[in-house]
């Protein structure tokens, strides 16, 4: 049944909307990951498992 539905799928506007939504979310996540100043925060987070301090969430 799915094969038949996909063979006759002609709603290109829905497919385009899905692609644009995916692309927008992907770019937003990429921008958030590589934003200015994020490297310092990621460095702190990466050192948490090696830290002897008990107040993990306070110094982020």
Sequence ranges of the domains in the chain: 24-51
Tens-digit pLDDT string for the chain (60 aa): 888 877 787 888 988 999 999 999 999 999 999 998 888 888 888 887 776 766 655 655
pLDDT at 16: 92
Question: What pLDDT, on a 0 to 100 scale, did the predictor assign at position 53?
Answer: 67
| Nearest residue to 59 via CA among 8, 33, 48 | 48
What does pTM read for this prediction? 0.60
Among residues 31, 57, 54, the alpha carbon closest in space to that of 45 is found at: 57
- C-alpha span between 31 and 60 (Å, rounded): 20
Give the C-alpha separation, 8 to 27, whole Å. 31
The pLDDT, as a whole number, for residue 41 is: 86
Question: What's residue 32's pLDDT?
Answer: 92
């Amino acid at each position: 049944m799915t094969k038949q539905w996909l063979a006759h799928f002609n709603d290109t506007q829905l497919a385009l909307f899905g692609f644009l939504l995916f692309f927008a979310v992907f770019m937003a996540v990429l921008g958030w990951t590589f934003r200015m100043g994020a490297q310092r925060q990621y460095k702190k987070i990466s050192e948490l498992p090696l830290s002897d301090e008990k107040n993990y969430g306070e110094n982020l």
